[in-house]
Amino acid sequence: MRSRDIIIVLILLMFSATLLFTASMQLDDINKTRKKLRLVSNDPLENAPPSLAFATVAMGAFRGLLVDVLWMRAENLKQEGKFFDAKQLADWITVLQPRFAAVWDFQSWNMAYNISVAIPASQPAERWRWVRNGYELLRDRGIVENPKSIKLYHSLAWIFEHKMGGVTDDVHKYYKMQLLMAMRPLISPNTNEHFDQLSAAPKTLDELLKDKKTAEFYDRLKEADPEFAKKEDVAKNFLHLTLNPAAYPQKLQDVLEDYAYSDTIKNFMYFAQSYELRNTWKLDIDLMIWLNKKYGPTTTKDEKNRKPLNWEHPDTHAIYWAQRGLNVAGSKGVGHYVDESNTDRLIFQCLQDLYKNGKIIMYSMPVLKKGDPKLGTKDHTVMMQTIFLRPDLSMFNSVNEAWLERIAKYSKFRGSNVRPLKSGHRKMLEAATLMFYQSGHIKQASRVFAELRRLYPRDDNKMSIEAFCKKRIFDVPGGLTITRVTTRIIGVLREAYFRFAVYEDDEATGREKYANVLYNDYKAMITDEKTDRIGLPEFSRLRYFALLDFLNDPAIPNDMKQSFFNRIKIERPKLYDSLNAQREKFEKEMKEKQKKQDAK
């Protein structure tokens, strides 16, 4: 080799060494940046077999191959019904590759659906624990690791909408009750003004305590109970204290009494509520306010100003997480790919659910609890809380606007078929017309009917609203018989009793009037000799049958039935006397009928 070539090689070697040295000097900074951006994951596997724990370290950059093997094994275990084993493998995969969005989705679904239903329905609290684990995993960990995965937002929203908001699970009412009880203390009194206060509340305790009077109040809380010295639990402890002060030491009760109705305690409450919403439930209060303004309910008396959504309902939480996914991981409203379109449709579906079953009525009812001979306990009655779901007509405008928005949105995409959307919208307007009409909201029913005729002119709506509603009632497959019409009238009256029992007087009155209209209209239709001979039972008799139906329903708490009787006895004595008279008449008829049968 010539001396010239040797010099060139030496220069190259020196240059390479310099580059390597320079690179090594930057390695620490690069690694720090990688960790800061969370581009590495070297967390150890907990409770893993030694061979697997060793493999995760020894395989280095080939950990992805190990994840593939674990993933296939987890899928096989799921197919075999070994959900707990599949969960353990999925746990390890999330540690090895936390930005593998599919495994978070698999893990949450496995817990909320597969594992939860493997537990008997007689253990609702245990089932609820796994459903909660499922949505908390996505909310608190999966989305944090994969903030741009719209699939995870959709899956989280789906657990709220389908698993908790739906009725397919045997203990779905228990799920709804748990969410309601958790959210009620955080959003009460659920007004727009209150949400504004929550948004403006300090985000940290230190920020709150900058106010001198608030700091003095907090010092007194700590003196009365050392538990309040734990700053991370202050919000939770304060909310528990205000909900049930009798369960706390007298000193704490005295502090509350001294500051009762003061701005100090109000501000502390705003802080505690907002802190729990932000840190425990991971909710952005400003987004909650935006959703309230966008989709909140309206009343028939005030259709311009929206009230807050019902944040005690699972479907509202589903709307929140779906919208958050669209905001963070969507394509700014384009909605051109499947996951984004599905997430957008989920919001739409939830709004319809809130309209159909968005009103939650909570009541206590006695339940017989079996004793345990081993523990020496006898059968005894305990009061259990239950819920009733009813349509929320105040959500109509929000649902209607959302429907129109989506028809306009998807009409812009090439190849989009909006005919099913329009057909669904037409049917919704038809049903809403009848629902408002039979609830006594005639003006609102007329407005909805006018929109139906304007958007979807058809032969079957070219008539008056009265004729339209009667036609929808009386046109049934197989013809309308006396048995069918009496069943319908009894159903309407039964619902009126229910509404009256829960103090929804306008709804109750509207249904009573509509039952009377049905009765008179059908009576006018049966004019021939044959049907006259059969005859309809008198309306007061149908009222009594509806009352029997209401009283004999085991799902309705006795307290609610008693509430109904107490109210009509004082507020509607004529109805009370009429029902009593029918009861006596009916019982007399039954006795005479029994005598005749015995004589035969």
Radius of gyration of the chain (CA): 32
Task: With respect to residue 187, please indicate whether it lies within any of the assigned structural domains.
Answer: yes
Question: Under a CB-based contact definition with an 8 Å cutoff, are residues 195 and 289 in contact?
Answer: yes
- Interhelix angle for 285-295 vs 192-200, to 10°? 160
Residues 236 and 264 reside in one and the same domain: yes
Name the one residue in this structure whose structure tokens are 């240059």.
15
Do 437 and 581 lie in a common domain? no
Which helix (H) or strand (E) segment holds residue 74: the answer is helix 63-79
Q: Are 219 and 350 within one domain?
A: yes
Which pLDDT value is given to residue 376? 73
pLDDT recorded at residue 532 = 44
Q: Kindly state the helix (H) or strand (E) to which residue 361 belongs, with its residue range.
A: strand 359-369
What is the per-residue DSSP string for 484-542? HHHHHHHHHHHHHHHHHHTT-HHHHHHHHHHHHHHHHHHHHH--SHHHHHH-PPPHHHH
Q: Are 399 and 298 in contact (CB under 8 A)?
A: no
526: which 2 tokens?
């049966």
> Which of 408, 433, 448 is the last residue in one of the domains?
408
| Domain contains 421 | yes
The number of distinct structural domains making up the chain is: 3
One domain for residues 496 and 570: yes
- Could you tell me whether strands 359-369 and 380-390 are parallel, antiparallel, or unpaired per DSSP bridges? antiparallel
CA angle 423, 424, 426 (to 5 degrees): 65
Contact 368, 381 (CB under 8 A): yes
Whether residue 494 is found in the same domain as residue 347:
no
Residues 259 and 401 in one domain: yes
Q: Domain of 526?
A: 482-599
All residues at 6 or more sequence positions from 253 whose CB lies less than 8 Å from its CB, including other chains: 245, 246
- Nearest Cα neighbor of 439 from 390, 507, 538 is 507
Q: Is the peptide bond before 573 cis (omega within 30 degrees of 0)?
A: no
Indicate if 462 and 549 belong to the same structural domain: no
In a domain? residue 313: yes
What parts of the chain have a pLDDT lower than 70? 1-97, 300, 332-336, 365-368, 381-383, 414-416, 474-480, 526-535, 600
Q: Which two tokens stand for residue 236?
A: 């939770």
- H helix and E strand count, the chain: 29, 2
Q: Write phi, then psi, for 431 (nearest 5 degrees).
A: -65, -40
* 350 plus 426 within the same structural domain: no
- Identify whether residues 232 and 302 lie together within a single domain: yes
Q: Is residue 72 part of a domain?
A: no
User: Do 455 and 488 sit in the same domain of this protein?
Assistant: no
Residue 591: inside a domain: yes
In a domain, 272, yes or no: yes
Name the residue among 294, 282, 281, 277 with its Cα closest to residue 198: 277
Residues 499 and 450 in one domain: no
193 located within any domain? yes
At a CB cut-off of 8 Å and minimum separation 6, what does 489 contact?
Answer: 515, 518, 519, 542, 546
CA dist., res. 7 & res. 312, Å (int): 79
Is there a single domain that holds both residue 464 and residue 555? no
Whether residue 298 lies inside any domain: the answer is: yes
